[in-house]
Amino acid sequence: MSELTAVVHDAAEVVVGEGEAPLYCLEDAAVAVEDGHVVAVGPSDEIVREYPAENARHTVDATGRSVIPGFVDSHTHACFAGDRSDEFEAKLRGKTYQEIMAEGGGILRTVRATREASDDELLQNLLSHLDTMLSHGSTTVEVKSGYGLDTDTELRMLDAIRRADEQHPVDVVATFMGAHAVPDGRDTDDYVEEVVSEQLPAVETQGVAEFCDVFCEEGVFSVEQSRRVLEAGVEHGLTPKVHAEEFVHIGGARLAADLDAASADHLLQANDSDVDTLTESDVTPVFLPGTAFSLGEAYADARSFVDAGGQIAVATDFNPNCYSQSMPFAVALACVGMKLTPAEALVAGTEGGARALNRTGGLGTLREGAPADLVVLDAPSYRHIPYNFGVNPVSAVLKEGEVVHA
């Protein structure tokens, strides 16, 4: 027998998902959840008649509040140790990301701290970031490895990601990113061979990672080196993702399309031809406005992708260089920095994120049959997410119909 898990009733509005307007949004609405999935969404009085609140394990009175799908944060590097807050200040004084990297800071500094951290420290750090993400409305989060850059530490990171997924209400999706940087003193081709012949087989045997990502960037991994890693990843059962056209345009977006990647991420330097290439492909362009914000750089041209009919995602890119776990803040930046409407930015942070993770079945929506990942906002409209910037708008979160944050 199916169980009535939750009824969220009398909401000022329920954002169901993408629609013509461009949002499919109902006023004076309710959501009923059975066995962790949305069974009905519609006018509150009708839903409550059919699914009496007193029969439900959880009842949420959402009077005056907006209910939206849980955020799907499709790009984070949330598993690491160490602190780089001093680099934030150095950047404000004019240092570039690349200069900091060249001085031994940046990714390689986090690699040193991560290698020294115990398994438990890595897990506890990740769990604490997931707590913050959940309290800001994220219910599915992708997390990349890539601060180990050796087989042992990469596997330890992926194991922390697996254990976090088991222990935390947030669904955690694992991406192997051994090709995140070149370890100190190593030749790049030589390291690529290590990733291909040693790390990837071990990652496949471990069985945690679902995606393989590469930092395809001038001075890091060339298009050819990235292709080598990602094609080997496919042979080991991992779906490609690409950090593409972040600082210098070198062809990472084209590569993502050639390899039928799940996503091409960053795209700060993407050009018109990339807009056409990605829009014609099944690759989801993922925009990370927090990175441009924290680096003080120009925002990506997400508008061109949307105007060309592309279905984009917005994510946090949470990492020591872009230290925000908040999807509401990413949505606000997507609006103000990239000129998306609040509806476009919200869809990009929910359904778009699910698309970037190749999730079907309604994740990122509140359509009938979708997983019942719901966020109740302390505001009457989703428009308050960017409008009331810098403030956490989340009042409660339900994961598969269970109240996991209130």
Q: Please indicate if the annotation marks 384 as binding a ligand.
A: no
- The residue at minimum Cβ distance from ligand NIG is 321
CB nearer ligand NIG, residue 15 or residue 314? 314
Phi, psi of 133 (to 5 degrees): -60, -45
Q: How far apart are CA 280 and CA 278, in angstroms?
A: 5
CB atoms within 10 A of CB 138: 31
Q: Please indicate if the annotation marks 387 as binding a ligand.
A: no
DSSP 17: E
Minimum Å distance from CB 189 to ligand NIG?
20
Minimum Å distance from CB 30 to ligand NIG?
39
Q: Please indicate if the annotation marks 58 as binding a ligand.
A: no
Q: How far apart are CA 260 and CA 271, in angstroms?
A: 19
Minimum Å distance from CB 281 to ligand NIG?
21
Q: Please indicate if the annotation marks 129 as binding a ligand.
A: no
Residue of 382, 380, 376 whose CA lies nearest to 404: 376
Q: How far apart are CA 227 and CA 214, in angstroms?
A: 9
Burial 221-247 (b: 16+ CB within 10 A, else e): bbbebbbbbbebbeebebbbbbbbbbb
Q: Please indicate if the annotation marks 84 as binding a ligand.
A: yes
Minimum Å distance from CB 290 to ligand NIG?
9
Total residues belonging to the chain = 406
CB nearer ligand NIG, residue 110 or residue 365? 110
CB nearer ligand NIG, residue 8 or residue 111? 111
The answer to whether the beta carbons of residues 125 and 161 sit under 8 Å apart is no
Kindly list the residues in this chain that would bind ligand NIG in the complex (CB under 6 A): 77, 106-107, 110, 215, 243, 246, 291, 317, 319-322
- CA-to-CA separations, 151 to 9, 204, 233, 285, in angstroms, rounded: 50, 12, 15, 29
Minimum Å distance from CB 115 to ligand NIG?
14
Q: Please indicate if the annotation marks 168 as binding a ligand.
A: no
The answer to whether the beta carbons of residues 240 and 262 sit under 8 Å apart is yes
CB nearer ligand NIG, residue 15 or residue 268? 268
CB nearer ligand NIG, residue 77 or residue 168? 77
Minimum Å distance from CB 41 to ligand NIG?
35
CB nearer ligand NIG, residue 17 or residue 285? 285
Write out the two tokens for 255. 């590569």
Minimum Å distance from CB 105 to ligand NIG?
9
Strands annotated E in 197-238:
211-215
CB nearer ligand NIG, residue 53 or residue 267? 267
Q: Which residues are annotated as a binding site for Fe(3+)?
A: 75, 77, 243, 317
Q: Which residues are annotated as a binding site for N-formimidoyl-L-glutamate?
A: 147, 319
Q: Which residues are annotated as a binding site?
A: 75, 77, 84, 147, 180, 243, 246, 317, 319
